Each structure stands twice: as structure tokens, then as C-alpha cells.
Amino acid sequence: MAPWALLSPGVLVRTGHTVLTWGITLVLFLHDTALRQWEEQGELLLPLTFLLLVLASLLLYLAVSLMDPGYVNVQPQPQEEVKEEQTAMVPQAIPLRRCRYCLVLQPLRARHCRECRRCVRRYDHHCPWMENCVGERNHPLFVAYLALQLVVLLWGLYLAWSGLHFSQPWGLWLRSSGLLFATFLLLSLFSLAASLLLASHLYLVASNTTTWEFISSHRIAYLRQRPSNPFDRGLTRNLAHFFCGWPSGSWETLWAEGEDEEEEGRSQAV
């Protein structure tokens, strides 16, 4: 690995996240919080559980940030070429287009990420905290990471508050608890951000839409010409498809099925 590769944005962001995670955990253990009290009382199950949750959230973060989010192959395989030809022959004229950067035929719901310089299937957004795209392959893990991270943050927030004793004089309190108070403020900020992110992504998952589609639906060809979300199949099926991949099928097929249903509805109304 070249020396300058160690200073790449991805390495710096992931290293910063790891250092910050263990730094906050260390502060919670070193101060007079509930963690210290549990240790002194010999109740090691809760501190060990907290440590395991912190480790699990960190591993999940690294998994989401390092994995392939669902890149579209620049050089399509023979089977993919056949699939693209079949997709292009669908009578409903699905508005596929060729990426002007990658020069690949983008599947439905794919988008080019300028930061990653690749087209991503079911593109949701590019996460600067992950330094990676969130797409078809890692979006479920991203939601799971947000849920686990929120549990850790809220627990850490409680632990930090348990160590803040305001009965001391201001100067003495600042020297003894200033770092813990700063940690409490930082955890409060992160908890708020994680809560908002998790709530928004659960809403998007429940309606089978993405952040990009939700924000830019007026600019997306395959959504502009439809009065409603063509991929929404109800809460149960949306959740089953997102987390379990069931029912399987291409987005092009769902789009075409929705078009047929709308045409049938219009004909019956006439």
C-alpha cells in the first residue's frame, strides 16, 4: 500500500470513528459513572454487555463502510447483457438511460455517485461518515447499524449523566467532570442525529423508496410520469423485500406491473 493511501478520506474517517468510539467508552469507564459502580459491586454482566454492544456497533460500521454497496459492473457479463436487452424490449418503455460518466446502461433506481465514481444499484445516498455509498447491498445493514448505534448512544448518555454530580463548587466540578460533561453533550448530539436518521430510513423502507427518490422525485424520469410510487407494495411486502429479499424480482418488473395495473384502472374507469 502506498503511503498516501493511508491518508485517504476513507481511512481517516474510519480511523476517526474508531478512535472516537473507544475514547468515549474509556471516558465512561474512568469517571464515576454507573459503569464504575457496577464494577466495584462485582456486577460485571452489564459493563461486559455494554462493551460487546460497542464492539458490535463498530464492526457493523466497518462492514457497511467497506462493503460493495451494489456497484453496477462497468463491463457487463454476458448474462447481464441479455438481461439488459430483455429489459429494453419491455413494451412499457421503461426510461432506462446510459450513464454519461460510466457509460453503462443504468438499471432502474441506479444512480452515479461522483464521490465513489461508480453507479450504484438502488442508490440511497453517499454517507460522508461512512465514506461509502448506501445502496442495494448495504442499505439493510446500514439501518441495522443505526438501530444498534442508537441503543449504544442512549445507554452511553445515561451512563454519562449518572457520573455528573452538581453538588461540588463550579471550579472543582469543572476540573473533575468537565471531560465527562463534554462527552455527555457529544452523546446528546449523536443520539439526536441517529434518532432522526433511523426514523427517516424506517419511513423510507416502509414505503419502498430511497432518500434520493424522496428528495428528487420531480427530477427522476421513472417517477415523474407516475402519480404514485411504483415500487410500493404495502408495508409487509416492502419490509420483507428490504430485509429478506422476498419477493424477488427486478425493479423493472415491478415498474411494469404497476404500469399495467394503472392502465387497467384507467380502462375500467372509462
Known active-site residue 127: yes
Q: How far apart are CA 259 and CA 100, in angstroms?
A: 27
Going by C-alpha positions, the residue among 119, 224, 138 that lies closest to residue 127 is 138
- Here the cell at position 253 is 418488473
CA distance 264 to 268: 6
Q: Which of 99, 113, 119, 127 is an active site residue?
A: 127
Any residues with CB less than 8 A from the CB of 71 and at least 6 apart, and which? Answer: 116, 118, 119, 120, 121, 135
The burial class, CB within 10 Å (0-12 / 13-18 / 19+), for 100 is: exposed
Say how far apart CA 213 and CA 210 lie, in whole Å.
Answer: 5
* Cell numbers that stand for 47 in this block: 459493563
Beta bridge partners of 112: 119
Torsion sign, CA atoms 60, 61, 63, 68: positive
Give me the helices (H) in the chain, please.
9-30, 34-40, 45-66, 78-88, 139-162, 170-206, 211-216, 221-224, 235-244, 251-269
Are 212 and 125 in contact by the 8 Å Cβ rule? The answer is yes
Which has the closest alpha carbon to 156: 26, 22, 25? Answer: 25
The set of catalytic residues is 127
